[in-house]
A and B are shown apart, each in its own frame.
Chain A
Amino acid sequence: MRGYHDIGGLEAGPLHKSQHDYALWEKRVDAMLVLLSSKKLITTDELRLGIETLGADAYERLSYYERWIASISRALVARGVITTDELGRRMADAGRRARDSA
C-alpha cells in the first residue's frame, strides 16, 4: 500500500523549470490556510490528508492550489466550521454572479 503522493524514488521525466504567475485567487487560498492555521481551525496535516485522499486522478489533474482549496473546504466541513449545504449554495451563487457580470 503506497499513497499516490508518496513518490520519492519513483521514475519520473525531466525537470521543467518554467514558473507560472500566481493568480490572486491562488494567493488567497494560501493566505486562508496560513490564517486558519494560526487560528487553530486547521492543521497542515489535515490539509495534507485531504490532498492525499482526493484520488489519484484528481491529484494529477488539479493544480497545486486547486488541491489546496478542495482540501481546505473538506477540512472545514469535517470540523463543522462550514456545512456542505452552505458551501454548495454559495458556490452556485458565486457562479451566477460571475455569469451575470460577464
Chain B
Amino acid sequence: MNPRFKPGDAVTVRRAYPPGHLRTPHYIRGHHGIVERVCGSFANPEELAFGRNGLPALPLYRVRFTQRQVWPDYAGADGDTVDIEIYEHWLERV
C-alpha cells in the first residue's frame, strides 16, 4: 500500500472510540500534528490481536504533536513535543 502522507504533512487523528485492540492512544485522538517520518508498512495490530494476519500491511507514521496543544495545563516549554507512531487509517489530512 503506498503511503498517503509524507514528512511535513499536517494531519489530524480521527475521533473514534471503538472497542477492540487499538494502538492509537486515547489522549491523542482529535489532535493535529505533523508527519515526522514514514516508518514503513506493517500488519494491522487491530487484526493481529484476533489471530488474523493483519494484511494488507498499513503505512505507519511518526507524527509530532506540540505538547501545549495536546494538554491544556502543560507545564513545559512551547517547543516541547510528543512523537507518536500512528497507522494511516487513523489519520486525515488537515
Contacts and interface: CB of A to CB of B under 8 A. Distances in A.
A6 B49 contact: no
Contacts, number: 43
Q: Is the interface of B mostly helix, strand, loop or mixed?
A: loop
Interface stretch (A14-22, A40-48, A56-64, A88-96): A40-48
A43 to B, nearest CB: 5
A1 B17 CA distance: 6
B48 A43 contact: yes
B49 A48 contact: yes
How many interface residues does chain B have, given as a range?
10 to 19
Interface of B: 17-22, 25-28, 45-46, 48-51, 54, 70-71
